[in-house]
Amino acid sequence: MILFHALYIIWIFILFPLFKAEEFIPKVTENLIEETSFNLVSFDDSNTSIRLDGWGVVWISFDAGENWEAVKEIEERIFKFTVDPFHGQERGFAFICESPKFYITDDRGGSWRALTIPSSEEYLDGDCFITTHPTKKELIIANCYSYMINADVVDDPSEIYLTNNGGSFFKIKPSLEKKKDDDITTSSCDFIKSSKNSDFTGNDASILCLFSNREYDEEYRLTGHYTQLALSSDGGKTFKEFDEFKHKIVNRYKILKSHVVVLTQDDSHNEMSSMDIWISKDASTFQKAQLPTPLRDVEVGKIHEDSMGRIILPISTGFTDEKNEQPAPSEILISDSRGLKFSPIKWTPNHQFGDIRLTFPDFLKGTIFGSFHPSIDYSHRKGIYSGNISREETKISVDNGLTWSNLKVVDRENADSFGCDITRTEECSLHGHSYNPIFPNPSAGIIMMTGSVGDGSEFKRKDQKTFISRDGGLTWRLAHNSSGLFATGDLGNIIVYIPYFSDEDGGVQSKIYFSLDQGKIWSEYELTDGISFIHPSELINTAPDGSGSKFILNGYHITTSHQKGSIVYAIDFSAAFDYKICEEEDFEDWNLADGKCVNGAKYKYRRRKQDARCLVKKAFKDMSLLETPCNSCSESDNECSFQFVRDTNGQCVPDYNLIALSRICDKSKGKSVLVKPLQLIKGDKCKTPMKIEPIDISCDEIPKEGSNGKKIVSTGNKFDFESQFHQYLDTVIDGTFGHAGFNR
């Protein structure tokens, strides 16, 4: 009896530090796979997940990753599976490599049917990319490319196919005639409605297409290039060309929520020739936008719209002007809320050559992360030049880009480990390592980031750490001395983290870490038996909306005998806190932007208190953002009126070229006009407008617009603009201005 008692005490003594009475252990199910496993995705609001294996087999799980079965209806090898971004609850596409055939499921993997795009013989080698319609499920566009049809020609011809019944595709015939038979035609088409909340009303099925023909001589030199931008409202049968672009080369277009942006190039033979940007709000007429500098390197893919409908145009310096010794610094241009006038965002003093990326997490309204990464211009061997050290920079704006700040580290516990003084945020802040910070799941402000702390001048690739913020990115704490994969669940109340490499010996990884209190305490869970280990490749919450409590981890399984397989874990936290569901007193308000008014409204989420011992457990329910409009409007709810630009003090001052363009003097009989320098930002929610005194503008000095077909030239503005708004108006105003009002 005494012996038993002694044993009992020892047991408790040993077990207590390992498993505290209250410590929770997730339910983990392991699946060993002979082949590599990849492309792990989940359907929205369901327990269904899909992954592929190295044989091209599609595997499906109906219970959040615990059990998997092969999809038997699919015989071919699949290399890619995507869930329809607009119909994520039920539809997905499985693509066969280099084939116009693909499989579609409309009932989240319950059944599958094959579709084949009737592409012409010579296009067979290409891949097709599918675009679906945000509201009309039966509409699908396939952009089919063919590669190396003639290896000497750099252009890849492409064809467009459309279905309006979700089944049979037909080819869209380019409305642009070829001048010569062997001209190379590329087509691209998109639905005018690019999102569910798109502002383009009218015919939902309208598509915008860009057709482009290039002709080459015998030596495959480009000898001609002509383009046509056209709109079809009848499913691609007939097209209406836009008159604005009849004699221009249209380079690219981008369809946003409330604008269509079109880039035209003056000289099709010269990539460096300057571009114009055209904006449309109704997909029927376009106006040329006013730019502060000539545009050369616009990466169309990165054009965005912020939540107020302002167009954001990151200009990266991939090329430099030969004549110019200094490569132009990267910058970001933002339009006014009418979309017609661009000016630079003052976000970084870092005038360097490199690449700017902006990230707009949907669930953090008004928040933008900006990251700058210096780069070297290999073609000109410039780059880290003139002895100046290049610096990486990561900044955050929580007021839609009005003000920017560094990512402040507030971590007294680890303050000594960063090598700089974290109270001096200007030179000691968090800099993200990836080009864009990754927010795998929406959460109530609880986010993680991989990076390092310093002034950004050292690329500490080897010294990456993982940080956590509970206030949407304003302040950060160290979470792990390593980098890895992470995902959140239950709106941020469950966080799972696995380092790429174990921190102990830099090699084997066999543990996951999890936190049930928004990152304050981390617990470990040993995945493997210590003989084999895992190199993690994918970690997802099975509810992409971040609400659920089940996760799937996929990784390469490495043992001494078995090198090639994968290992997939289903990790289930549903039983945490003994299944306790949070009650009213377990919640608090979390205010975005520190509770300040941003564009006329305050936003908040209700979230679980950090230490509450329960889960929200609203699986598959999206978080709801609560909005309170602000009473009085302030400066920040306004922008410069069209005829005005900001001077170095931030004041809106008249600009004579813009005054000429707006034709306000044409209408006035007198020698001067009264114009308000500020206008309310369109879509701003503030209630009581600010009183704005109009300014008397003298019309004497205004160059008469269009008179005798004369060019508008830069007139000497009397204001201190510095480099805020360079005069660049060397083209004739071609009549597209003026018939639409700018200043409403």
Ligand X SMILES: *[C@@H]1O[C@H](CO)[C@@H](O)[C@H](O)[C@H]1NC(C)=O
Q: What are phi and psi of 593, to 5 degrees?
A: 55, 35
Q: Which is nearer to ligand X, 47 or 394 (CB)?
A: 47
Beta carbon of residue 513, minimum distance to ligand X (angstroms, whole number): 10
HEC secondary structure over 582-645: CCHHHEEEEEHHHHCCECCEEEEEEEECCCCCCECCCCCCCCCCEEEECCECCHHHEEECCCEE
Smallest separation, CB 679 to ligand X (Å): 36
Two tokens, residue 698 = 């003298």
Least separation in angstroms between CB 47 and ligand X = 4
Place of tokens 């669930």: 363
The CB-of-478 to ligand X minimum distance in angstroms stands at 5
Q: Is 12 exposed, middle or buried (0-12, 13-18, 19+ CB in 10 A)?
A: exposed
Name which of 388 and 436 has its Cβ closer to ligand X: 388
For ligand X, the closer CB: 521 or 740: 521
- Report the residue number, 386 or 561, with the smaller CB distance to ligand X: 386
Helix (H, G, I), strand (E, B) or coil at 660: helix
| Alpha-carbon separation of residue 81 from 91, 103, 194 (angstroms) | 11, 9, 21
Q: How far is the CB of 269 from ligand X (least distance, A)?
A: 32
CA distance 23 to 707: 81
Other Cβ atoms within 10 Å of 323 Cβ, number = 5
**What minimum distance in Å lies between the beta carbon of 414 and ligand X?**
6
Which one, 419 or 689, has the nearer CB to ligand X? 419
Instruction: In angstroms, give the least distance from the CB of 614 to ligand X.
Output: 18
Q: Which CB sits closer to ligand X, 189 or 453? A: 453
Contacts of 736 (CB under 8 A, 6+ apart): 244, 286, 287, 288
Per-residue tokens: 195: 């999102």
Q: Which two tokens stand for residue 525?
A: 């869970």
Run of H or E including 667: helix 664-667
Q: How many angstroms separate the CA atoms of 228 and 8, rounded? A: 83
Q: Running DSSP on this structure, what letter comes out for residue 708? A: G
Query: Least distance to ligand X from the beta carbon of 417, Å?
Result: 4
Closer residue to ligand X (CB): 477 or 613: 477
Tokens of 56: 């091209």
* Cα 365 to Cα 135, 286, 360, 434, 607, distances in angstroms: 23, 29, 8, 22, 16
**Cα separation of 534 and 550, whole Å?**
20
- Non-local CB neighbours of 63 within 8 Å, separated by 6+ positions: 47, 570
Q: Which is nearer to ligand X, 577 or 620 (CB)?
A: 620
Q: How far apart are CA 635 and CA 399, in angstroms?
A: 13
- The strand ranges marked E within 10-112 are 27-33, 37-42, 49-53, 58-61, 69-70, 78-83, 92-96, 101-105
Report the nearest approach of ligand X to the CB of residue 352 (Å). Answer: 8
Q: Is 353 or 644 the residue whose CB approaches ligand X more closely? A: 353
- 10 Å CB burial of residue 650 (0-12, 13-18, 19+) is exposed
CB nearer ligand X, residue 47 or residue 143: 47
Nearest approach in angstroms of CB 183 to ligand X is: 46
Length of the chain: 744
Among residues 350 and 591, whose Cβ is nearest to ligand X?
Answer: 350
479 CB-side CA count, 13 A: 32
CB-nearest residue to ligand X: 386
CB of residue 448 to ligand X, shortest distance in Å: 13
- Output the smallest distance, CB 64 to ligand X, in A: 7
Nearest to ligand X of 543, 678 (CB atom)? 543
Chain positions contacting ligand X, by CB under 6 A: 46-47, 386, 388, 414, 417, 478, 480-481
State which residue, 46 or 679, has the beta carbon closest to ligand X: 46
User: Smallest distance from the beta carbon of 238 to ligand X, in angstroms?
Assistant: 44
